[in-house]
Structures are given as structure tokens and as C-alpha cells.
Structure 1
Amino acid sequence: MNTMLAGRLHLGSLTFAVEEVPVPVPGPGEVLLEVKAAGVCLSDVHLIDGTLTPFRPDDAVTGSGALTLGHEVAGVVHTLGPDLVGSWAPGTRVVLQAGQSCGRCEACLRGFLCHRAMTRGVDYDGGWAQYVIAREDTLIRIPDNLPFEQAAIIPDAVSTPYGALVETGQVRPGQSVGIWGVGGLGAHGIRIARLIGTAPVIAVDPLPAARERALAFGADVALDPVAPDFAEAVNAATGGQGLDVAFDFAGFPAVRDQAISVLGFGGVLVLAGLTPAPVTIADSIGFSARRNQIRGHFGGEAHGVDRLVGLASAGRLDLAPSVTARIPLAEAADAVAQLEKKIGDPIRIVLVP
């Protein structure tokens, strides 16, 4: 076992291909993971098309000019590196955190949220490969009853909306929420909102199939954002109060403008969808008078993944409907095209080495 297949993005030319590369060797505090499933996310598509670039690329990425994609990864421990602290053993079933702290910034040294966190498959090599290196503090054990492909999507597709709702949005039972974009993130945002006990859950998406999916996943109302009576429909669903918390999982400026327009008094807009476009407030006086807020959100926290693994394994959160397709790693380019063109209206496509 000297070489393996890996889905590599060459950053200079923005060309993607599945290539044969050397199998990496784990260093101190690391393990080599045999990948069993890896999710395909819209941010992977944006890395390939150049609208998203590595935030803090590590030396290996900078030196080679290429990056193995994939931040949603599950598999089994294959080889142990030296100086491990935990009791890991080959064959242990795990899912990987989507990123890792730098361990060196002032916040890390004081035990706070890292200010220079790095993302797997963005800043360092990810899991679109047969094997991947993982620092042991990014390993989360998964039980035998949780399939690899369901576990793999938790660290982003599920934990990002979980963090957006529970931590950044601080949503409480009984509050009204609006969820724009019912794709990989928004679909799970709806399910988490139902678990929390929010009411009503209003889903917003221009695609009829996505609105049908939103209702199947637990939304109380599913609206077309271009409908002429959109604002009236939100007003009716919320008893004339407007939304307590709105979530942009789509990453489009028009979404943010529309969400702000239907916030209630004290309402909050959470930005979870990524776009380089600026945030604008058309009526800033009214925004301030209504005590509205805009909060940014990125990714999920480690404890969120732990809790979601527990919810999924206990049957409280059924992730089977979220896995739209399973595609061999060798056909990763086809998976990217399917997601980019929304072929089959995917929630999550999973690569299987």
C-alpha cells in the first residue's frame, strides 16, 4: 500500500481530477484513517470554480499547489502515529471534525474558540481519498448502528445548521424561524428547528421540489420567494409578528434583503450561507428601530458533532433520507457536476472509496 486515489484540486489552474498519490504517513498525535464515506458539499463546488479559496493553507498545500478536497469524512482508524494520548486502535469507527484549531493562538492557549482554525479539505488535505491523516483531537467515535455515509455528513451538513440555530441564532422553543435554501444545510436546519420546538418553521426556496422536501422534513409552511404575496404569507404564518430568527443557508444577497424585510421586532438574521457579496441594509433606520441584528455563522463546534452523533444513533434524527446518492470516489467529478447542476435534486451526495 504505497499509493492511493485522491480527488485533487490544483489551485493555480483550478483543475480537478482523481489522481494516484502517495499514502500519507501519520506523525505525532495523528492517525491514518481508511475512508469509508465522504460527503460532497457546495463549498467543494465553489473551491473548484474559484469563488472560494483556502483561508489559511498549510505548508503542504502551499508547497504542492494542490489540495485533496472533502471535509465530511467517516471511516476506520488504520494506522496509529506516535505519541497518541487517547486509546485508539485499528478498526475503530470514527467521524472527523470538519476542521481543527491551530493550537497556538492566544485564544487556543486560553481555552477559547480558536481565532485561526483551519478547515479540512480547504486549508489542508481532506477526505476525498482512500486514506487521510487526522489529528487525534478531531476523531469522534461512532457506534456500530450509525452507517458511515450518514455519519460522514454530520460534521458540516448537519452540525453547521445545528450551530447556526442553537448557538449563533440562540433559537428557543416557540419562536418563529425562516429558513432560506432547502439544500444540504437548510434541509437539516428544518429538522433541527423541529427538534428544538420552534413554531412556525417557514421554509423558503424557489424550487418546487425543494419546497416539497421542506414540508416532508417538517416545515409548517414552504414559500416561493418570488411569489407576489410572499410578505403577506410570512405575516399570516407568524400572526402578524414577523420572524424571530431568519437563516440564510443559500448565500445570495437577495435572500438577505428579503429575510431582513420580514424580521419582527428584535428579529435576528443569521448568515450561514457563504458569499463574497456585501451585506446591505436598505432601511437602516427601521432596522435599528426594530432592534434587529445580523450575525455571522461558520461551520459547527466539536460538541455539536458529538451531540448529533448521539441523536442520530438514538433514532431521534434519521439521516438516511439525506443521502441522495452514493458514488465511487473515482467518479468524484461526476458527483461535483450532479451537485452543481442539481441533478436529481440532491441533499447530500456521498463518495465511497
Structure 2
Amino acid sequence: MRAVIQDRYGSSEVLRLARVARPVIADHEVLVRVRAAGLDRGTEHLMTGKPYVMRLGFGLRRPKNPVSGRDVAGTVARVGSQVTRFAVGDEVYGIAPGSFAEYAVAREDKLARKPVNLSFAQAAVVPVSAGTALQALLDVGRVQAGQSVLILGASGGVGTYAVQLARAFGAEVTGVCSTSKLDLVTSLGADRVIDYTRENFADGSRRYDLILDIGGSPSVRRLRRALEPRGTAVFVGGENGGSLTGMGRQLRGALASPFLRQRLALFMAKERATDLERLTELIEAGKVIPSMDRSYPLDEAPNAMRLLERGQVRGKVAITV
């Protein structure tokens, strides 16, 4: 089968199209015929091997799984002997390591029925980013109706879902992004949008009950200035958290949190079918719509990754197979 692979860590230049053997499934796994795959920051981290601590689980010198991608949408081609939730031909979406390929393997507990009102490309850009946003808001942020929520990085993959989900849960949402993406965040339903090149969200004029810090650049002190006295800040991702752990700033915040009235929460997303099922309900109800910038065929996956590296993606990008 065709797949996008890498035999070393590095930038998008390490990605190439090749032919590899079709994967074999275990008892609790599903073989998915890939119709589309999503591109996200996690896939970029797996490509570069940074932060370095992640190599302990994914390969010290080179990736254990040479096939790129994690988000997937497609049809079930085969099921393991212990699989009970899916049958051959079902349309599904979820997490399948190595999804930049014609076929990929997913655990049964990391797949859900594809929303009927989404194309495969739209569905493929949901699982990782929307699941992260959902958990950050509910499980960690404990968002409640009527609260004020600030989302830093509102135009990115996780941010575009966080804006919509926070609104769906009844919060008042302020999104922070660059000038060129103000229209996108406004279209997602944000009550207020801040251009970080012109305004300072932490100038003291307004405080928030909950802040989702997606991307990781403001100092902990600056975040606290924008928080209510008993507000919560959730660190989502760590693009500027250092090459070793990627979480230097987040760890400092989490260590300080027990001594503060404000809550600074470290967050690591989980991959769960239950979250996908909840997202399916919200999507089919029209409360959440994937913000897909564009799609690329499988052989152009390196070009799509290059745009992500440069910060030139609005929302999400899909790879179609």
C-alpha cells in the first residue's frame, strides 16, 4: 500500500511517499481503509522528535512507526476477533497511528461512528484537536455556563474547536489570534476577538474565569494577571516550552499552583471513544463545525506539513487518500 513515511527525525523534508506492507490487526483492533487523515501539531512533534522526552516512547533515534499521521476517517475493512462495536463497511473516525496511508490500524476503544453530516475529510480533522479542546474545557477547566473564557491560540486546530465548544457550554468567549485570522475566530462564534499584535490580553482591563493557553508563550505571571482571583488557567500544548520536555513553563505553573488561590493546571490529553461519541452528538446537532482550511492528496502531505510548520494554516488541514 502507499504511505507517507520517515526514516529519521527532522523537518517536513524527511517525509516521503513509499510502498509498505499492509498492517496486520490484533484481536481488539480494527483495520481502517483510510479515506482521509488529519494534520495536527502532535503529528509535527512526532516528525521532529521534539521535545526529546517523547522519543522515550516513540523511538530514540528514529520513529518506531515510520508511517506518519494519527487522526483518521474511513471505512472498516477488517475487525479483530474481539471487536464488538464495529463491522466491515462501517464509516468511522478516531485515532489510528500511521494514518497517512491507504490502510491504518486503530484500537476499538479509539474509534467512533463518523458524524453523518461530515465528509471524510471534515471528520478526519476532528479527533485529536476537538478531543483535546473538550477535555481541556470540561475535565480540567470545569467550564460552566455564564463563565468568561479566554482562548489563546483561538485560530489553530485545538483553538477553533475550543471556541465553539465553550460557546456550546454557555460560556462567554474571547479569542486571541493574529490579525489575518480575526475573521475566522469571529465566524466561529467568539463574543470578542483580540489581535495579539495590537492588544494585550493581560493589560488588567478584564479578567477571566478560565483561560486555555494553547501553544504556550505567555509567562505564568502574565497569565495570572488576566485571571480572576480564583480563576483557572489550563496549559494546552507547549510549542515554546523547551526542547527537552516541552513543558518547562507549564511545570513551573503547576508547581506554584498549590500555593495560589488561582489554579494553574497541567494537561495531557487522552484518546477516548467516549469523547468522540460526545463530539459526534454536538457535530450532528450543528453546535460544532470543523474549521478546515484545505485538503491535500496523500503525495502532497509534506507540503501540507510545511505550511503547518510555518504557521500558515487556518484551523485544520486534511490529507485525502
Q: Normalization by structure 1: what TM-score?
A: 0.78
Deviation digits for residues 130-164 of structure 1, max 9, x if unmatched? 10112223221225433212222221121111110
Alpha-carbon distance in structure 2 between the residues aligned to 1:211 and 1:87: 41
1:151–1:309 contact (8 Å) kept in structure 2 = no
2:201–2:226 contact (8 Å) kept in structure 1 = no
Give identity over the alignment, percent: 29
Structure 1: any 5+ residue segments left out of the alignment?
A: 99-119
Partner of 2:91: 93
1:162 aligns with 2:140: no
Partner of 2:266: 296
Supply the RMSD in Å over aligned alpha carbons: 2.6
Q: 1:67 to 1:260 in 2, by over 3 A?
A: farther
2:176–2:194 contact (8 Å) kept in structure 1 = yes
What is the CA-CA distance between 1:175 and the residue it aligns to? Answer: 0.8
The structure 2 residue matched to 1:193, chosen from 166, 177, 191, is 166
Alpha-carbon distance in structure 2 between the residues aligned to 1:63 and 1:230: 40
State the SS of the aligned residue for 2:319. strand
The structure 1 residue matched to 2:184, chosen from 207, 213, 225, is 213
Alpha-carbon distance in structure 2 between the residues aligned to 1:90 and 1:143: 17
Q: Normalization by structure 2: what TM-score?
A: 0.85
What is the CA-CA distance between 1:78 and the residue it aligns to? Answer: 0.7
1:318 aligns with 2:289: yes
Q: 1:35 to 1:62 in 2, by over 3 A?
A: farther
Give the length in aligned residue pairs: 305
What is the CA-CA distance between 1:302 and the residue it aligns to? Answer: 3.1
Q: 1:263 to 1:324 in 2, by over 3 A?
A: same
Larger Rg, first or second structure (1 or 2): 1
Alpha-carbon distance in structure 1 between the residues aligned to 2:135 and 2:23: 32
Alpha-carbon distance in structure 1 between the residues aligned to 2:199 and 2:82: 59
- Equivalences for residues 51-200 of structure 1 within 5 A: 51-52=50-51, 53-54=54-55, 56-57=57-58, 65-81=64-80, 83-86=81-84, 88-96=86-94, 98=95, 120-121=96-97, 126-182=98-154, 183-199=156-172
What is the CA-CA distance between 1:332 and the residue it aligns to? Answer: 0.7
What is the CA-CA distance between 1:184 and the residue it aligns to? Answer: 0.9
Alpha-carbon distance in structure 1 between the residues aligned to 2:40 and 2:230: 33
State the SS of the aligned residue for 2:233. strand
Partner of 2:7: 10
Partner of 1:105: none
Deviation digits for residues 93-124 of structure 1, max 9, x if unmatched? 1112x3xxxxxxxxxxxxxxxxxxxxx53xxx
1:346 aligns with 2:314: yes
What is the CA-CA distance between 1:306 and the residue it aligns to? Answer: 0.7
State the SS of the aligned residue for 1:299. coil
Structure 2: any 5+ residue segments left out of the alignment?
A: none
Residue identity opposite 1:195 in structure 2: A
What is the CA-CA distance between 1:84 and the residue it aligns to? Answer: 2.3
Q: 1:54 to 1:77 in 2, by over 3 A?
A: farther
What is the CA-CA distance between 1:257 and the residue it aligns to? Answer: 4.2
Partner of 2:297: 328
Alpha-carbon distance in structure 1 between the residues aligned to 2:103 and 2:220: 39
Alpha-carbon distance in structure 2 between the residues aligned to 1:63 and 1:222: 41
